[in-house]
Structure 1
């Protein structure tokens, strides 16, 4: 069966930033059908109206790997709660499940069905940094890990890419994805 990967950018970003294009190329070379959609309204439009659009735009099945960065990682929580299949892997890079700072976070749900999220993914990875400038740090990763299990990876690596943090490749992600 063909393997699929969907890579979600973060708040205010696009498919051409940081390591997203690099990871897309690496996965394509490995035989994945890769989507890196552009969602300018991620973390702008409330999740209640945004999520149905994302769900309608993609097919999720037992061969779909999900990767999200920052706001895109927070989006994965809602996606995993609401899909009706179990995906093999989800990787949340600089992810969070509660407000990481004083900014509004419309990508977050008020509450999560953690059991549903856990039931819809086989292998779950949380990659966070101790020194994230937006508060998407290892405590956020730990909060998700404690509710969902999986694997938490903690580094001292900022936001894993940002307007002022070049991050063109991300070898760890290439290694984590089956």
Structure 2
């Protein structure tokens, strides 16, 4: 069996060294994963149509790949899953969304999604959202994706799962869910 790989995408205006992302990288590396955590300052700044091809070119995807995205990084996973050629093992969309969650501009979102292509490119899909997300990346957004894609929806009361004013140093639930 090939080595398992995890690619972790940070959220809008963030970087790979915020909230639980460094902790998850360490945990997965300890479990034998090759972990990639790219820094994408253009995430949700540059239109997804021009941003996505570079992300696709920077990574390889196969049946041993696990994808994790937080906030804008989770929204990016929808476009990524639609356009990859392979089927990945698992995808975790933490505080993800598929429609504008608030009044802010959301260039990471596509105008429309090919939901069947997204579903065909991932074996196991998880949506983890909070009822009390301050940015609108809430359980209703998770439900909208779950209704179109199936998978597993997990609803918490954990805000945005980490933010400048919400320390969230570890994410044990996510560590347990990743095969």
TM-score range, shorter chain: over 0.9
Superposed displacement of residue 131, structure 1: 0.2
- After the TM superposition, which segments of 4 or more aligned residues of structure 1 sit over 3 Å from their partners? none
Partners of 2:37 and 2:25 lie apart in 1 by 7
Partners of 1:161 and 1:90 lie apart in 2 by 19
**Structure 1: tracts of 5 or more residues without a match:** none
Question: Residue deviations 1:122-159, cap 9 Å, x none?
Answer: 00000000000000000000000000000000000100
Question: Residue deviations 1:48-67, cap 9 Å, x none?
Answer: 00000000000111110000
Mapping of residues 17-166 of structure 1, within 5 Å: 17-166=18-167
SS in 2 for 1:140: helix
TM-score, normalised via structure 2 length: 0.99
Partners of 1:2 and 1:156 lie apart in 2 by 34
**Structure 2: tracts of 5 or more residues without a match:** none
Query: How many correspondences in the alignment?
Result: 178
SS in 1 for 2:128: strand
Question: Residue deviations 1:26-67, cap 9 Å, x none?
Answer: 000000000010000000000000000000000111110000
